[in-house]
Every structure is written in C-alpha cells, then in structure tokens.
Amino acid sequence: MTRAADTPTAAQPGGDAARPGTPTAARTDDPELAARAAELVRDAVLGDLARRVVGECGADVGLVGVPEPLPGRGSGREGMVLRHWAGTRADLLHDVPVPAGLGLGGRALAERAPTWVPDYRAATTISHDYDAAVAAEDLYAMLTVPLLHGGTVHGVVYASLRAVVPFGDVRISAVGKLAAAATRALAGAAAWSGEKSRPAAPVRPLTPREHEVLRWAATGRTNPEIAAHLGLTCNTVTGYLKSAMHKLGVRNRTELAVAAKESGLVS
C-alpha cells in the first residue's frame, strides 16, 4: 500500500486540488464524495501509522484507535475503536471499543497527552479492562500518543513491546514524530472535506449533594472516607455516586472521574 506521506491531498501545497479546473478540485463541490475521499485518506494514514510504529520505532505491536460514538455508553460519550494494527498474533485487540479514561489509550484520549507504562499488567495508574487481550498478545511495555490538532483528537496510536522495559526519550520522540505527521495529514483531510467536530452532548445537571460527593470521589477518596467527611452513611454516598454515574453515562469510578473532569464538574 502506498504510504500516506506519498499520497497527495488537498492539504498539500501543489496538489491537484489546489489548481482550479482540475477533476480533483471539483470533488469538493460534492460533500458525499469529499467525505468518502477524506475517509479513504484517513484509513490509509492510520493504517500506515500502525505499520511504521512497528517498522521504524522498534515496537512489537502498533495499534491505532479511531474516535467513534460508542453505543450503550450514553449519548455523546467520548471513545474510540481500535481499527488499525500491525504485529498482532491474535485478534483480541482488533475492533475493540475503548471509552475515554479506560486503559492506557483511553487515558491518553481523555487527558489529551502521551502516556506510557513499562509493564501494562502491573500498572496502578490505569484501569485493567483489557488485561485479557493484552495478555493474549504477551504485551508489557506500552506507549500511547493522541493525534491532537486544534483541540480535536483524530486518533490514538499505541506502541507496545513484548518485554518489561522503560520507554526512553528516543523511542517516545520517534513515535511522537510519526504521530505528528499523521495528525497533519488527518487535519488536512478533515478540513478539505468540510468535517466539523461533533458538539458534546449536554450533561444532565447534578444535585448539589451529588456534585459534592463526586468532587471527593474524583480525588480518590473511598466511600467510607467520603461518608465520614460529609457526615453521611456509606449507603447514602453509594446512592449519590450511582445517581451521578447514571447521569453522566459511565460505569465505574474511573470513568466517572474522567467524565466529571471533561464536563467541567471538577477541576
């Protein structure tokens, strides 16, 4: 397959689309055709990115998550699906939905920042919803980098190794450079096709008590600690947290903390 860097797009100076009167220039007048062309560019860029992470950065497995609506997790819930991969031995990491905040990639998506761990399975800073799939691939060290442009995340790239090793600056920089190049191509394709970011769905308002309990839960306090601090019973605290989770469309405390931060409910 031709690499995305070798494929001219409307975002590249001197491309055919920049010259009026050419067939490619006419494509922008047809929104459906432009959107389809942008989708093809996106698939080519992201597929190539997964392969280059393995071929050029010394990773054993490269994965790329594509932002998509996740059914059953609340309207507008941010998440992605692992649509591109290279170096995998099984298919447990193929087409996997990843809500923002879950696992290492979900954390990168939520925080809009690179994250890495030397041993995924022993990490205490992430959720472990995907341990079975990670173990099936015999993966340990993992780095994730969001493809961020103008506040919009176009995807998240994973670089994973089948060994427990720290990620050095050289490898982090190499993956970051590939991610940056891919992001420029994706942003150009999105601008060319006239794509707009989906507005976030409004969050159902929390009661003052729900907000207070949520604020303490987001700092890592346990239910008994919150109950003692606020003078409530543990059952009451649990009820408030369950109500807040339902309103925010999340399933656990990790997702709750991320959703609350994204929604501006906690700083």
Q: Is the pLDDT of residue 2 over 50?
A: no
Residue 144 — pLDDT band, cuts 50, 70, 90?
very high
Query: Burial code of 28-60, b = ≥16 C-beta within 10 A, e = fewer?
Result: eeeeeebbebbeebbebbbbbbbbbbbeebebb
Domains of the chain (ranges; CATH) run 4-193 (3.30.450.40), 208-262 (1.10.10.10)
Give me the mean pLDDT over the 227-248 stretch.
86
Report how far Cα 72 is from the mean position of its chain's Cα atoms: 18
pLDDT of residue 263: 62
Side by side, the strands of the sheet bearing 152-160 are 97-99, 79-86, 61-67, 152-160, 142-149, 115-117
Work out the mean pLDDT of the chain and round it to a whole number: 80
Q: Is the pLDDT of residue 79 over 50?
A: yes
Give me the mean pLDDT over the 62-75 stretch.
79
Q: Is the entire prediction scored with pTM above 0.75?
A: no
Q: What is the dihedral of CA 231, 232, 238, 239, to 10 degrees?
A: -130
Give me the mean pLDDT over the 209-231 stretch.
84
What does the pLDDT look like over 9-68, one tens digit per residue? 333 333 333 333 333 433 456 778 877 888 899 999 999 999 999 999 999 999 999 998
Q: Is the pLDDT of residue 199 over 60?
A: no
Q: What Å distances lie between residue 92 and 48, 59, 86, 95, 156, CA to CA?
A: 20, 18, 13, 8, 18
- The length of the chain in residues reads 267
